[in-house]
Structure 1
Amino acid sequence: MEFTQDQINELKSALKNKQLSAYHNRIQAVYFRSQKMPYKSIIELVGLSHDTIWRLVKKYEQEGISALIQDKRGGRRAAYLTYEEEKEFLKEQLEASASGEFVTISQIHKAYQIKVGKETTREGFYALLKRHGWRKVTPRPEHPKKQTLKPFQRLKIKSTFKKTRKRFKHSRRYNKIRLMYQDEAGFGRISKMGKAWAPKGLRPQVHSHHIREFRYCYGAVDSHTGESFFMIGGGCNTDWMNEFLKQLSEAYPNDYILLVMDNAVWHKSRTLEKPSNIGFEFIPPYTPEMNPIEQVWAEIRKRGFKNKAFKTLEDVIDKLQEVIQSLHWSDLKSIVHREWIFSDFEFE
């Protein structure tokens, strides 16, 4: 390429422009060629390859200085569909995906091949899924009889909470109105296996048995503050629920607690003794995801009960107490945090 004086002056001006300092190497390489400097010398000075310098000169010849100050690199050089067309194709598969039909990639890959009208590699299709944020996950299980009343039930709980706050707003009887989520879970000597870190070539071996001895943990967590109350009991029945409510009431004597729970029979028993500073609200049947404390039980099991074989029931109780005491309020607040709770309820 033969450079004109105007082009040489343009390259000089670009080299002096501080705003183009990020592209200094490219501009300098082309400028050196305009001065008829050999490729070998330019390579040593700017650190670019012979082919790169040649392409930069060619681009400058065709498009001018703008060709040297573009950030276009890489990109998709060959594709059966545009990005928007891929997005539209995956949108068509959302309904089947949401119901867990795509157990293997074969089904959705076959639909893609029909869409483009030719065979494609799985590797390329994996890249497509990754590009659009798809991944393989285990579906969240739900009961066939699950009710779809969650939004309405949230409004009901919200209404009860607001009425309770209004009722005691000017009362000196209670310092605070709390919204706490309650549940109970069994912990016993049946071993639970879980994944563990180990070097390649080593598969850990742990003791395991299936002895059916249990103790039950009752718990209540304030999803706003992360404060909690737990009690270990001998069973799930009205007597133990009465004891839990009594101890919970005594733990917060100056607060009124709206306790949200599931529909277990001992939660609605006629002989249930409800303290004066505790009120009840129930989530719809078969909707455990509406009770954030469910994830607390999962965290307790992960911290203290995976890959363990307990010799006695006392060992189970000791481990349960140890893990509960290790749960900081900030940990619990993080576990039970739900956007819909903070958006639906106004906390003081």
Structure 2
Amino acid sequence: NEMAFYNNENLIFLDETGFNGHLKGSYGYSPIKVSAYKNVSANRGTNRSLMCAILSSGVAAYSYKTGSYNSNTFIDFIISELVPYFNENRNKVLIMDNARIHKTDEVQRILREHNIAFRFTVPYSPQLNPIEEFFSMLKAHYNSAKVLTPTLSIESILDTIFENNTFSVQCTGFFRNMRNWLEKLQEEIHLFNK
């Protein structure tokens, strides 16, 4: 895997995830002899998609929209969020999973046109993609905040989470986990090729 040749500081992982008003915690706390429960509307509401890029020291860029991202809205994200970041950080490499919108000719053309180096993860290898752990942690933060502030919009809750956290320590840990998996994978490949 090519990621082994790059320092963590030079890798930026990008992916998208969804949020809905129905995201909820699986447990809660309440006073003694009082059940902990929450009524949730049967109407699923509108989905919000978060596009996010992380590095080992925290969040590089993010944006959200109603509904899912497609290649056009992904290109908008690249131009508005990634191009300015990569213009100031030329030695970084963008790592994306194999989602169809990441692999279109137009997306790849725009990345090349703006001199953004990019690679794709090994298919079906979430353990090699630190942003998967990041999203899991982010959704836990979101679920906790949603219980405490149920009337706030998804965007308001996420903005507050992003504004109040650098996620530096967590991202460093997620990247360390990725490196541990990468080392295990390289050992297995080495043993297999003997």
Counterpart for residue 94 of structure 1:
none
Following TM superposition, the consecutive aligned residue runs of length 4 or more in structure 1 with deviations greater than 6 angstroms are 342-345
Q: Of Structure 1 and Structure 2, which has the larger fraction of its residues in strand?
A: 2
TM-score for the superposition, normalised by structure 1: 0.44
- How far, CA to CA, are the matches of 2:150 and 2:44 in structure 1? 9
**1:304–1:329: structure 2 CA closer, same or farther, 3 Å change rule?**
closer
- How far, CA to CA, are the matches of 1:284 and 1:343 in structure 2? 12
Matched, 1:249 2:75: no
| Number of aligned residues | 173
Counterpart for residue 44 of structure 2:
211
Residue 259 of structure 1, CA deviation? 1.0
**1:222–1:265: structure 2 CA closer, same or farther, 3 Å change rule?**
same
Matched, 1:277 2:115: yes
Counterpart for residue 70 of structure 2:
237
CA RMSD of aligned residues (A): 2.8
Alignment counterpart, residue 18 of structure 2, candidates 169, 186, 189: 186
For the 8 Å contact 2:142–2:157, the answer to whether it is kept is: yes
2:16 aligned counterpart, secondary structure = strand
Give the 5 Å matches for 1:4-83.
none
Give the 5 Å matches for 1:1-348.
153=1, 156-159=2-5, 161=6, 178-209=10-41, 210-223=43-56, 225-234=57-66, 235-246=68-79, 247-256=81-90, 257-272=92-107, 273-274=110-111, 275-306=113-144, 308=147, 315-339=153-177, 341=179
- How far, CA to CA, are the matches of 2:22 and 2:181 in structure 1? 40
Residue 298 of structure 1, CA deviation? 1.6
RCO (CA 8 Å, sep 6+): is it higher in 1 or 2? 2
Provide, for residues 185-214 of structure 1, a one-character-per-residue CA deviation record: whole Å limited to 9, x for no partner. 111222423212334422212131241411
Larger of the two Rg values belongs to structure? 1
Q: Could you list the runs of 5+ residues in structure 2 that have no partner in the other structure? A: 184-194
- How far, CA to CA, are the matches of 2:133 and 2:182 in structure 1? 20
Counterpart for residue 105 of structure 1:
none
**1:245–1:332: structure 2 CA closer, same or farther, 3 Å change rule?**
farther
Provide, for residues 155-203 of structure 1, a one-character-per-residue CA deviation record: whole Å limited to 9, x for no partner. x2234x48xxxxxxxxxxxxxx721111111112224232123344222
2:135 aligned counterpart, secondary structure = helix
Q: Could you list the runs of 5+ residues in structure 1 that have no partner in the other structure? A: 1-152, 163-176
Give the residue type in structure 2 aligned to 1:198: S
- How far, CA to CA, are the matches of 1:333 and 1:284 in structure 2? 20
